A and B are shown apart, each in its own frame.
Chain A
Amino acid sequence: MDTLISLAFLLIKILVITHVLLGAVAYTVWLERKLIGRMQNRWGPTRVGPFGLLQPIADGIKFIVKEDLLPPGVNKPLFLLAPLLAVALGLTSLAVIPFGESITIAGHTEALQISGITNPHGGGAIFDPNVGLLIILGVTSIGVYGIALAGWSSNSKYSLLGSLRASAQMISYELALGLSLVGVIIMSGSLSLREIVNAQSGNILHWNFIGGWQFVAFFIYLISAFAETNRIPFDLPEAETELVAGYHTEYSAMKFAMFFMAEYANMFTAACVATLLFLGGWHSPFEGISWIPSLPLPALLAAFVPVFWFALKIFFFIFFYIWVRGTLPRFRYDQLMAFGWKFLLPLAIANIIVTSVLVAMNLAPLGSK
């Protein structure tokens, strides 16, 4: 019976989290068009619904009813596999991301994490995969195949060039990205995302970004995340002025939409990892400060306050992505490679050395540990 309840909760969690993410993806596109529009002194979508709020639904219908073209000369199985792979791997990382501590409904404590389980022997302790961070990195590294296969199977020069650029860029920046996370792992002594967040519990001064001396790592991560998700200023794989649309040139209708969804899902994953590792996850920036009164909230609502803080931090990153897109021009390809290999990578290694020395000399970070 207990197993059945756990399974039911697991199913609910998977459904809710996946749908919230896909909804968020759709409305991120709306937000992006709206914000970029205002940054360029125009309105953005206004016609469909109030403030253009129904625009994502209209876009969705358009993607579904459009003709699904299959160009001649493509490698059909791989051409169909590529977008599926991209979107599936984009959503897989969600399984290990913790959104909050836990909630208790009718005496049943449930972790706010798809792969988090409550101790079956009682006590309410929560376990999550003890290599959660590595799972995310692994899924990201597999994610290259979606793009690589899309470009190759399309049998078109623009697609192939775009996918080669994308793969080279993602592999190069994955190194800097992975190494920038090592400092955080040293600070918290764990690869489990839940433990990494709990090591930063407390107010804003305890977070790895400030309290763990990881601000350099944070900026390396942020820059690499832009490259990993193929966003401006690193959107060379789909540079429309030279490559038409890069790796998804030959894709139409829903298959194109799947690449789109995968890209935005990856943005969310990158934002989640940044929040969990550097910005204290679901902890409030005012936590444990005695002179700030806590709001008198009903119990069920209070349980969702951590999720609110988590979502707010994610929103900050998404806003930042869009802001950068409205601000910066695109890099040149050689600049991109030189920046990744000659600047970010050595800086990340230096950060690891400095962090290790700090930890070895027992120089406690501000506040915790």
Chain B
Amino acid sequence: MIHQILFFIFAAICVAGALNLLLQKHPINSALSLIVVMGSLALLYLLLGAQFVAAIQIIVYAGAIMVLFVFVIMLLNAGVEEDTHGSRIAVYFGVPAVAGLVGMVLYVLLQSSHIDYQVQLGAFAKPTKDVAMLLFRDFLLPFEVTSVLVLIAIMGAVVLARREP
């Protein structure tokens, strides 16, 4: 019962943060709203019982990636978003498109929602060891391929940032 209440509280915060992200005119407010979204997502993972994923979500997304976003906004001292002709057209087409998409997803979900397929809160409460078993045994190859991808990205960043002598 208390888990359901918590779920709705944090789901509401998550959606509110996402909406605020879009509605805010100043980039730093949008970035902070995104942090709220990341944080409440972590709490939703926690409600599912996935403690490790929740902690990693906070450390990697809310902690590391968003710090870089905020950093860039602070360094460039980005001002308030300008309301151009193009952005107004994007609003006229974007809002109905998103509404249509959300409606479609909701319809499909409500049509196919069956008690058997529903996720139970706390269903993923497994120790960290199981996550490691999945990553380093069952899905070792995709995991290692991803790490190569990350390595390439790091090398690309170094090449781009290197100053020509």
Q: Mark the stretch among A9-17, A130-138, A262-270 that contacts chain B.
A: A130-138
Instruction: Determine whether B35 belongs to the interface, using a CB cutoff of 8 Å to chain A.
Output: yes
A167 to B66, CA, bound (A): 12
Bound complex: CA A159 to CA B103 (Å): 47
Q: Which residue of the partner chain, among B35, B59, B62, B70, contacts A134 with CB atoms under 8 Å?
A: B59
- Interface positions, chain B 81-125, Cβ under 8 Å from A, are none
Cβ-defined partner of B59 (8 Å) among A129, A137, A163, A164 = A137
Which of chain B's residues has its CB closest to A152's CB? B74
For the complex, is B11 an interface residue (Cβ under 8 Å from A)? no
B23 proximity list for chain A (CB < 8 A): none
Binds A, one of B14-22, B49-57, B141-149, B156-164: B49-57
Give, as a whole number of angstroms, the nearest-CB distance from B138 to chain A. 20
Query: Which residues of the partner chain B approach A137 to less than 8 Å between Cβ atoms?
Result: 55, 59
Among residues of A, the one whose C-beta sits closest to the C-beta of B125 is A130
Interface flags for B63-84 (1: CB within 8 Å of A; 0: not) read 1100100110011000000000
B55 near A160 with CB under 8 A, answer: no
Q: Restricting to A88-136, which residues have a CB under 8 Å from any CB of B?
A: 129-131, 134-135
Give chain A residues whose Cβ lies under 8 Å from the Cβ of B55: 131, 134-135, 137-138
Query: Across the interface, do B67 and A167 meet the contact criterion of CB distance under 8 Å?
Result: yes
Pair B67/A138 contact, Cβ less than 8 Å:
no
Contacts of B75 in A (CB 8 A): 164
The smallest C-beta distance from A249 to any residue of chain B, in angstroms, reads 16
A171 in the interface, Cβ–Cβ < 8 Å? Answer: yes
**Size of chain A's interface in residues, with CB distance under 8 A?**
25
- Contacting residue for B28 out of A130, A141, A152, CB 8 A: A152
B59 lies within 8 A of A171 (CB): no
| Contact A141-B64, Cβ < 8 Å, known A131-B52, A152-B28 | yes
Q: How far is the CA of A322 from the CA of B62 in the complex (A)?
A: 32
- Chain B residues, Cβ within 8 Å of A163: 74
Interface mask (B26-58 → A, CB under 8 Å = 1, otherwise 0):
001000100100010000000000011011101
A171 touches B58 (CB 8 A): no
In whole angstroms, what is the CA distance A120 to B74 when docked? 49
When distances are taken between beta carbons in the complex, the residues of chain A under 8 Å from B59 are: 134, 137-138, 141
State in angstroms the CA–CA spacing of A139 and B39 once bound together.
11
Chain A window 150-162, contacts with chain B (Cβ cutoff 8 Å), 1 for yes, 0 for no: 0110000000100
Residues of A within 8 A of B71 (CB): 148, 164, 167
| Distance in Å: Cβ of A304 to nearest Cβ of chain B | 30
Q: Are B62 and A142 in contact (CB under 8 A)?
A: yes
Closest Cβ–Cβ distance, residue B76 to chain A (whole Å): 11
- In the complex, what residues of B have CB within 8 A of residue A160's CB? 74
Q: Within 8 Å CB of A151, what residues of B?
A: 74
Which B residues are CB-close (under 8 A) to A53? none
Across the interface, which residues of A come within 8 angstroms of B128, CB to CB?
130-131, 190-191
Is residue A197 contacting chain B, with contact meaning CB distance below 8 A?
no
Q: Which residues of A contact B (CB under 8 A)?
A: 75, 78, 129-131, 134-135, 137-139, 141-142, 144-145, 148-149, 151-152, 160, 163-164, 167, 171, 190-191
Q: Which 3 A-B pairs have the closest CB atoms?
A: A141-B63, A134-B55, A138-B58
